[in-house]
Amino acid sequence: MRLSQLKYLVELSKHRTISKTAQVLYISQPSLSTAIKELEEELGFDILERSNKGVAFTKRGAMVLKYSQEVMQSITSIERMGKQLERTRKGYLSIGSVSYIFSTVVMDAFLELKNRYPDMVATIREENSYDMVEMLANKEIDLGIVMISNIEELNFQQVFDKYNLQFYKVFDDQMHFIVGKKHPLYGRQSATMQELLQYPFLTRRKILNQYNKNMLIQYNENLEFIQIDDGESLKKYLANSQAVCVMPRCSFWKSNYRLGEELHAIQIEEFVWTTKIGWIFPKAEHYSVEEEEFVELLEEKIFEYNF
């Protein structure tokens, strides 16, 4: 019996499918299935019931899961003890975050951390991903919550390497063009970039960077850009105009404007536009207790949003 097998069971209880659990653990599906099968053979009974809908724990499997959770909780407590001996509390924390999840999961995690440590001096600011790289390099912030699209992933990796930063993915998302009911393309499932960019492009100052702007004007060199920095105001304008905007689906967590109602998501025909959202941190440094707890809270909040 290996600790990794117990960890796999705990993660599987959260995600309920082999494919999703393997993705979260950064291992292959066959490796995960084999590890669990080996544990079942060692114990002499089935832990899981497998079906097309996913997996469920057998009665005996549920008992194994319970013990596994207790073991992993104990290990986490022991690790934390060691880390707290190695590090001291900083008593302060500065965080930067992209706009898309700034007012939802990032703010939720920040508020909970402040409730735990009311005397901690903490700041949180809304920035774009490229600016946060510079801020980390200049020690203006301690952590950066960034978004990296597949279109600019290579460019980001070069920047991270330049400043010796590490990126830790929290979740994946899909980018869509968003239009309101008054838009001529409302209801379309897909459209070309040329079709979509014949209309004014709505953006926020903290999101649009020169890299994205250059990519967009390739399709319309006379593209009109409209800037609205408040997220809900931007969606209100979008719902009542013929403008277009690019957003990931996480932008609509706890929003007053919902996809399929006031707003509609259109897929891009030319290519698949995906994105990763996660945090960046200097490779050469150790986490403070506050930084580690904030990241743990952030991951918990994202899981609670059931994304």
Do 3-85 and 172-275 come out as alike in CATH topology?
Answer: no
Q: What per-residue confidence (pLDDT) applies to 222?
A: 93
> How many Å separate Cα 305 from the centre of its chain?
11
- Is the Cβ–Cβ distance between 29 and 18 less than 8 Å? yes
CA separation (Å) from 97 to 18, 143, 207?
A: 31, 8, 11
Listed by start position, the domains of the chain span 3-85, 92-165+282-304, 172-275
Class of the domain covering 3-85: mainly alpha
Residue whose structure tokens are 């949180």: 124
Alpha helices (H) in 89-203, listed in sequence order:
107-116, 129-137, 153-163, 193-196
Q: What per-residue confidence (pLDDT) applies to 304?
A: 82
* Positive/negative CA dihedral, 167, 171, 172, 176: negative
Q: What per-residue confidence (pLDDT) applies to 77?
A: 72
Q: What per-residue confidence (pLDDT) applies to 90?
A: 61
| pTM > 0.85 | no
Q: What per-residue confidence (pLDDT) applies to 84?
A: 52
What topology does CATH give the domain 172-275? Answer: D-Maltodextrin-Binding Protein; domain 2 (3.40.190)
Other CB atoms within 10 A of residue 168 CB: 11
Per-residue pLDDT of the chain (307 residues; tens, 9 = 90+): 888 899 999 988 888 888 888 888 888 888 888 999 999 999 999 999 988 777 899 999 999 999 998 898 888 777 666 555 444 556 789 999 998 899 999 999 999 999 988 888 999 999 889 889 999 989 999 999 999 989 888 888 899 999 999 999 999 999 899 999 999 999 999 999 999 999 999 988 766 767 778 888 899 999 999 998 888 899 999 999 999 999 998 988 888 888 888 899 999 888 888 999 999 999 877 778 888 889 999 998 988 876 5
Taking the C-alpha atoms of residue 109 and residue 298, their distance in angstroms, rounded to an integer, is: 5
Q: What per-residue confidence (pLDDT) applies to 280?
A: 94
> How many Å separate Cα 86 from the centre of its chain?
29
Longest pairwise C-alpha distance within the chain: 69
Q: What per-residue confidence (pLDDT) applies to 277?
A: 94
Q: What per-residue confidence (pLDDT) applies to 74?
A: 85
Helix, strand, or coil (residue 49): strand
Architecture in CATH for domain 92-165+282-304: 3-Layer(aba) Sandwich (3.40)
Q: What per-residue confidence (pLDDT) applies to 307?
A: 53
Residue among 188, 184, 183, 156 at smallest CA distance from 169: 156
